[in-house]
Chain A
Amino acid sequence: MSKSPYPENCDNEYLIKLCELIADRENIVGECRKNGDKSFFYMCIDIPFVYEDTEQSIFVDLNIHIQESKLQAKFEGEIFALSTNDQETFMENILRIFSSGIEAYEEFNWLVSGPSNIPLPMLDNLPKRVQLRIGRFEPLGDVTDFGNAFMESLIELDGFIYFLLASLEDEEDKDGQKTNNNKLDSANDLSEDDE
């Protein structure tokens, strides 16, 4: 995949706008793709964070579908490179965070849910590397306004990720010590965790 979009798949002005917007962004690669006869925009976003004084990355895969009949753009994607040694506690924490007690929707406007191929009750069978699905809707209107809303949504995605990280850190602190039970791996590190 290259940073240069494939114009033949960008068959509407909104997708073309997305191509233009990400062209200068060092932390994003993306392109227009086709699923059957429908075009969509795929991108991979590198979200930087500092952990133990070292800059690291969390990656987000995102597909943006322009739904003109519904006057909206649908963003759906996955956060990957987030792993934890205690799957059940992690999922429970996420549920607690994003249920009516605490939610990030108000500030950051991203929705979150668990892995699509694993139903929530099957907590004991979660893979070691947890994937979280995220989503968002943006109204379609003027292309320039859509572009501005898209750029804002990327900043808010960063905030949303940091919100998740803050909640994980908080759970560590609750135990009274940093046991490193919740560990953040780089997407490039596929080796087993050391414990």
Chain B
Amino acid sequence: MKTKVRTLSDLHQEFHAKSSQLYSGAVNPKTRKQLIIDRQRIVREMWYLKKEKAKETSGNLRVAGAENPEFVNKLARKGVIFRSVG
């Protein structure tokens, strides 16, 4: 059986479609609840896809803008690298 791999773009479009339905004003309570659940599920899938992509591309995380040295050291110990503010 061929399984279609859904891309972030596919999921994004699906999310928009479900949202348009939800806010169309013409849904009953049961459908409304299901649409909300569907939207959450779609975005959860997006989250996992993004997380997998992030794992592939970076071993360290970067946080821009932090200037407090104590805070920088604290998160640096946990593998977070800081970019200096320009």
Contacts and interface: CB of A to CB of B under 8 A. Distances in A.
B57 to A, nearest CB: 8
Interface in A77-123: 92, 95-96, 99-104, 106-107, 119-121, 123
A120 B66 contact: yes
B36 A159 contact: no
Interface string A153-190: 00100110011011101100000000000000000000
Nearest to A103: B50
Contact of B19 (A107, A158, A163): A158
Interface residue SS majority, chain B? helix
A48 interface: yes
Contacts of B70: 121
Given A101-B61, A102-B51, A158-B39, A163 B75 contact: no
A142 interface: no
B63 A95 contact: yes
Contacts of B2: none
Contacts of B23: 25, 27, 155
A104 B50 CA distance: 9
Which 9 A-B pairs give the minimum distances between C-beta atoms? A121-B71, A162-B43, A166-B47, A121-B68, A101-B54, A166-B44, A155-B19, A99-B63, A102-B54
Interface of B: 8, 12, 15-16, 19-20, 23, 25, 32-33, 36-37, 39-40, 43-44, 46-48, 50-51, 53-54, 58, 61-64, 66, 68, 70-71, 75, 78, 80
